[in-house]
Chain A
């Protein structure tokens, strides 16, 4: 529980790519809301440019990406790239969905601070965000 006003952690939850299953993204958005964050949810089928631009306009502290299609190694580097182009280098990144263990290294190398796979307790995601964002 946090104060009604004052600085709030702002999180963008985005779904890149073409898969249309956003139940997981919505569950995470809801958990962060209940954890006291202000969560911007942009819906499905976001391009890398749209995600980076929304992160800029909303001045978020955190970007969480949800993906189930398997295109993460294709799309995530482009998202990080678009964010860098816009000077968004101090934003906390995490991702979740269907992401094989062997891709962990590559995603960490891109700057993802955590990967949440199926079975994750949503409270762990909330805790992760509060531990990594100073406000």
Chain B
């Protein structure tokens, strides 16, 4: 077994940090580490925290982590911030809101750049979360990039997805729209000390009352993360959701769905890489030119490329 993996399994945090880097760089050695560690994962409760930019996700993540530490639980935190679409660089600033956790031996926090992935996540986040899970944390919290209306991918990764809302950010029609609100297992109204919090809570309640009979209604909780208010209730609600998942059989179903998505997505990636490797730059350039000139449609062009590796 890899020496780094041995140190990881013995609880060495530096080995954890190193393995995450290997996995994040999509290297062969990263994949080998993951292969060895994967059987150790699947025990942590994975929590996703999403919501708009400035909604208080980082502060809420820090405050929730502190609540779990009071309860004697250990945590891994992954916080994603966006990459520049032009230079591909990034400023990762989520640690600023979680300072007091830095020296806590029961918490490991990692910043990740989005690297152009959709859904407010990062390309290798599934693997990074699996590595943290395998390290043996009780909880892994994923904080997404500031998400708007349509970033629903977090629900395929987290067991409990928390959507963070703020008072004063739109009327009830916003909440009526499809998309991100549908994936929330728990709705949080953060900055609840601001005017309009109660109005937002009743708007969300009214919205949820329109859901089909028999469907689970996500609880709506008020928090003021900056003052550490409402966190015990939030941690309790996450626990209740976990129990609901286990009892209803939803847990098994979600795990199977998520595994299916992940396997298909990786297979798609492998095929794309094979096609790229089997296609010369000239062939690609020529096809692209014909599509741009409207002499060939994009579907036929893609069929031709795929034909290079599939028969």
Contact = CB atoms under 8 A, between A and B. Distances in A.
A86 interface: yes
- Which 8 residue pairs of A and B lie closest in terms of their CB atoms, listed nearest first? A33-B89, A59-B17, A43-B96, A7-B25, A59-B21, A36-B89, A40-B92, A38-B113
Interface string A1-45: 111111110100000000000000000011011111111111100
Interface in B16-49: 17-18, 20-21, 25-27
Interface string B3-20: 000000000011001101
A49 B103 contact: yes
A36 B99 CA distance: 26
A34 B84 contact: yes
B203 interface: no
Interface stretch (B104-112, B140-148, B208-216, B254-262): B104-112
B177 interface: no
A4 B116 contact: yes
A124 interface: no
A50 interface: yes
Contacts of B87: 1-2, 33-36
A54 interface: yes
Contacts of A81: none
Contacts of B13: 56-57
Contact of A57 (B26, B86, B108, B123): B108
16 contacts: A1-B86, A1-B87, A5-B116, A8-B25, A8-B113, A10-B21, A36-B87, A38-B83, A39-B89, A40-B93, A43-B93, A43-B99, A50-B99, A57-B17, A57-B108, A88-B14
